[in-house]
Amino acid sequence: MKIELTEITVGELAAGYKDNAEGGVVGYEGKLNIRPAYQREFIYKDRQRDAVVETVYSGFPLNVMYWSVQGEDQFEVIDGQQRTISLCQYVEGEFSVKLGSFSEVRAFHNLQEDEREKMLAYKLTVYRCEGSDSEKLEWFKTINIAGERLTDQELRNAVYHGSWVSDAKRYFSRPNCPASALGRDYLAGTPIRQDYLETIIRWISVDGDIEQYMSKHQNDADAAELWAYFEKVLDWVKSIFPTYRREMKGIEWGDLYNEYGKLPWDSTDLETKVRTLMLDDEVGSKKGIYLYLLSGKERHLSIRTFSESQKREAYEQQQGICPVCKDHFEIQQMEADHIDPWHSGGKTVAANCQMLCLEDNRRKSGR
């Protein structure tokens, strides 16, 4: 990979700056793609943005920036998007900052002529890299942006960027994207860090292989299939569990839809069972109620376990004898078991505790 060190001024960087929203952000007389498809949206807080401007105004060193060579006299930002946009927005007059010894905030056009010239002449250090996609990606993985490393999905967006990724981001990666409006109560994470997009691709892909799905669809004209799938998942969830509860947020609904979506469900019956289980103090995981009702697997409920004192009390009463095989064991060789199981109404109380040897307890649990 070829890496070239160069310098450009703030004035050169901001020349031709345009934020075309969905169409991207460009600068450097249109030669620099400031926000490529795989880059996150602008996420600097005001204080971070202001600090960049203050650094340049004061003539202090600013961290180096990294560009990727895309063709003859064409570049895109690998690292430095937030700093670049901060400077360009300030020069364009989009915000004001308190600078120097002045007590009031000032926009770029409020500066004295010599101050403006000094800022525009400030030299930025830029590394331009040219090489294969894999070489640039490996370099990209090592670079911090705004003090935060890229997420796995942001890196995937870099590898498989194209028409499909751009359209998928329109649905799943904007602050006020359609996925957020439809499913924010059901999805964990945030769209801007690609959590929504990563989740939905994992749901729809074979065996959760996100890379395989993105590779297959990289050159698709749009991501309509992904959006249609997401709508089906949410419609299904809302039809069988019409009463929303906060415990429903973050459940892997797509996985459940893939496995149980074609089975007949009685929403009224499910609601009655949800309400009952929510009131059951033996159920340790209220979120697990939904997985239990669909799968029938009791382990999702995290039924309350016996305390160490209850285990010791049962062990002493049994004198270390397993009631199943009648052999004697040390306490560490035994496990607590509900005499009357939870699904038959058994409670996690001392009177319902017995100690079984490991083999017999595992055998009973497997029945």
Domain CATH number, residue 339: 1.10.30.50
Residues in the chain: 367
Residues 106 and 193 in one domain: no
Domain that holds residue 353: 308-365
pLDDT score at 42: 59
Tokens matching residue 314: 């049962």
Residues 113 and 167 in one domain: no
pLDDT at 91 > cutoff 70: yes
> pLDDT higher for 53 or 130?
53
Residues 142 and 6 in one domain: yes
Average of pLDDT values for 292-299? 93
Residues 19 and 50 in one domain: yes
Residues 292 and 188 in one domain: no
Residues 243 and 265 in one domain: yes
Residue 115 lies in a domain: yes
Tokens matching residue 313: 């009390």
Show which of 117, 149, 181 is a domain's final residue: 149
pLDDT score at 248: 97
Q: pLDDT category, 146, cuts 50, 70, 90?
A: very low
Show which of 86, 115, 149 is a domain's final residue: 149
Average of pLDDT values for 324-349? 92
Give the list of residues 6+ apart from residue 180 with CB closer than 8 angstroms, or none.
174, 191, 196
Distance CA 158, CA 149 (A): 14
Residue 93 lies in a domain: yes
Q: pLDDT category, 39, cuts 50, 70, 90?
A: low
Residue 156 lies in a domain: no
pLDDT score at 136: 67
Residues 87 and 172 in one domain: no
pLDDT score at 147: 46
Residues 25 and 120 in one domain: yes
Residue 154 lies in a domain: no
Residues 82 and 98 in one domain: yes
Residues 140 and 24 in one domain: yes
Residue 10 lies in a domain: yes
pLDDT score at 145: 46
Residue 155: which region, alpha, beta or left (left: phi > 0; alpha: psi -120 to 50)? alpha
User: How many domains would you assign to the chain?
Assistant: 4
Residues 20 and 127 in one domain: yes
Residue 328 lies in a domain: yes
The pLDDT mean for the chain works out to 89
Distance CA 338, CA 353 (A): 5
Element (H, E) at 46: helix 46-58
pLDDT score at 18: 92
Distance CA 161, CA 215 (A): 10
Distance CA 28, CA 42 (A): 18
Residue 217 lies in a domain: yes
pLDDT at 278 > cutoff 60: yes
Residues 48 and 21 in one domain: yes
Q: pLDDT category, 113, cuts 50, 70, 90?
A: very high
pLDDT score at 149: 60
**What's the per-residue H, E or C state across 310-333?**
HHHHHHHHHCCECCCCCCECCHHH
Show which of 190, 205, 229 is a domain's final residue: 229
Residue 324 lies in a domain: yes
pLDDT at 255 > cutoff 50: yes
